[in-house]
Structure 1
């Protein structure tokens, strides 16, 4: 009888000890999970792809300087060896300046060679994709106002020089390998391009879609497409939807993208309204984007001092 009592007591002590260990382990895991707070997901490496802008924002007190370049046709009547396959010609150069007023609100200024277009942009991150799945999508609002300050014969009044662009960018990152986004948008040009024929619309809707496929931790492949919902911008009037492919490399504070696209314009106001180049005619070109981030918050300096 005493032996049975001793065995039962020993068994009870063992179970109690195991329960205590389990309870302690559960408490530790619970404490660790509480420390790992959900954070916004970085869906893309930079604020621009080939044709599209992304949901990524410049953080508070940071400044992003961008240079985007489009060369001439690689092939076709205006390409080939005589132009070093387009390298000798420049179709468009865009300089962009993005500043983070806050982590969720940016003010951007850009200037394009085509049309001498100057544009002011406001960008607001409305929703972020969150790491714990509580928010599966990122949603960013974008608004632009553009002006073409020269060509007085074409634009006789200040109002006739103005254009407006609004866009909603919706993005999601699947695991760590694939990022997708769609971006419905609206464009209005007070003086539509081209000025004739008369049936050219002053305003129209469009849809952009893009994907980034991760190759390594610092490189990725990009596909970028845009479609204007415009009766004028169709095959009937020799227009073609912009389509681009890019290879992206992240190196420290730089993000470099080399790409091929049939679009010769960079700014959305130009790209969506003017794209008439076709891959089938050799009217595709090499381009590149360089993004360089500058931090004015003093965080990096403080970390070095510590």
Structure 2
């Protein structure tokens, strides 16, 4: 089983490298024909993370993006209401993440989630960037993520440490249709070394979709959705699974991007919420959450220092 996971990650990055080399060569050739550099359109999304999804937005070289994502408890339903101050007394997940720009096209990130104490290591690569002249009509990003659960979350689930790993590969295709409206889709493959129930799929495919609409330069609405394709989840006799769905507002304030949202997924990281979302909007099992993103510049060029 583990050999398949290593093969998957190796193949993903080999494809990434080959495609990026071809893309760079193509872009340079096109620039040479036009006698100058191609102008790249503004990012389809301001932050590298929306509500549920990674986006094609990248951290620039030598910059560090620090994110804090918080999910409170159920607003309504049996676990919400006045006794928990509509969920504000509880937290279903708290996620802290650092993402560093190795280059303008390659980022590395590390995060820790309260939900099952998940640790994750991530690489994101900007394969293509949408251009203002329309010859490159959309942006494409590649994401590879490894998740690791270091502590016991349920008795006797992880009989071997290798079973604590999960692996996620994702292609993000985004387009900025106008200065105000952006849309993306995210085909996603999740591989888990150990599933929690008989009949569950160790390999799980999901499709994500996200959008942003800006009303002003610094204020907009966002929506985020995932659908896992799973016979186990569609036909489970006792447990009801629901597609993760989040809606919210996004506010830009200088170096910060602040998102306030409502979402039915309890956990923040894809390795957890794609297979394990059992909360229903219709039953009041949605929760308030927020994301704060702060960018730090760790290196200044000699030109800027003069």
Same-fold call, TM cutoff 0.5: yes
Q: Distance in 1 between matches of 2:86 and 2:139?
A: 39
Number of residues paired by the alignment? Answer: 269
Q: How does 1:93-242 map to 2 (within 5 A)?
A: 93-151=94-152, 153-192=156-195, 195-196=196-197, 198-234=198-234, 236=236, 237-242=239-244
Call closer, same or farther: CA 1:103–1:40 in 2, change over 3 Å. farther
Q: Distance in 2 between matches of 1:119 and 1:288?
A: 20
Q: Distance in 2 between matches of 1:34 and 1:233?
A: 54
Q: Distance in 1 between matches of 2:280 and 2:256?
A: 31
Aligned counterpart, 1:84: 85
Q: 8 Å contact 1:41–1:128 — kept in the other structure?
A: no
Q: Distance in 2 between matches of 1:100 and 1:234?
A: 40
Q: 1:204, CA displacement in angstroms?
A: 1.1
Q: 1:134, CA displacement in angstroms?
A: 1.7
Q: 1:281, CA displacement in angstroms?
A: 0.7
Aligned counterpart, 1:290: 292
Aligned counterpart, 1:71: 72
Q: 1:263, CA displacement in angstroms?
A: 0.6
Q: 8 Å contact 1:165–1:185 — kept in the other structure?
A: yes
Q: Return the TM-score normalized by structure 1.
A: 0.84
SS of equivalent to 1:102? coil
Q: Return the TM-score normalized by structure 2.
A: 0.84
Q: Distance in 1 between matches of 2:300 and 2:156?
A: 48
Aligned counterpart, 2:262: 260
Call closer, same or farther: CA 1:238–1:122 in 2, change over 3 Å. same
Q: Distance in 2 between matches of 1:82 and 1:282?
A: 14
Q: 1:186, CA displacement in angstroms?
A: 0.3
Residue ranges of structure 2 left out of the alignment (5+ in a row): 1-33
Q: Distance in 2 between matches of 1:250 and 1:40?
A: 19
Q: Distance in 2 between matches of 1:39 and 1:170?
A: 16
Q: 8 Å contact 1:234–1:240 — kept in the other structure?
A: no
Q: Distance in 2 between matches of 1:66 and 1:233?
A: 31
Q: 1:235, CA displacement in angstroms?
A: 6.4
Superposed CA deviations along residues 168-215 of structure 1, whole A, max 9, x for unmatched, are: 0000001211100000010011112xx22x111111100000110011
Runs of 4 or more off by more than 6 Å in structure 1?
Answer: 33-36
Q: Say whether residues 1:53 and 2:54 are aligned partners.
A: yes
Superposed CA deviations along residues 43-98 of structure 1, whole A, max 9, x for unmatched, are: 11100111111001000000000000110000011000110100000100111110
Residue ranges of structure 1 left out of the alignment (5+ in a row): 1-32
Q: 8 Å contact 2:51–2:224 — kept in the other structure?
A: yes
Return the index of the structure with the highest Cα Rg: 1
SS of equivalent to 1:233? helix
Aligned counterpart, 1:24: none
Call closer, same or farther: CA 1:247–1:235 in 2, change over 3 Å. farther
Q: 1:286, CA displacement in angstroms?
A: 0.1
Superposed CA deviations along residues 2-55 of structure 1, whole A, max 9, x for unmatched, are: xxxxxxxxxxxxxxxxxxxxxxxxxxxxxxx98895124311110011111100
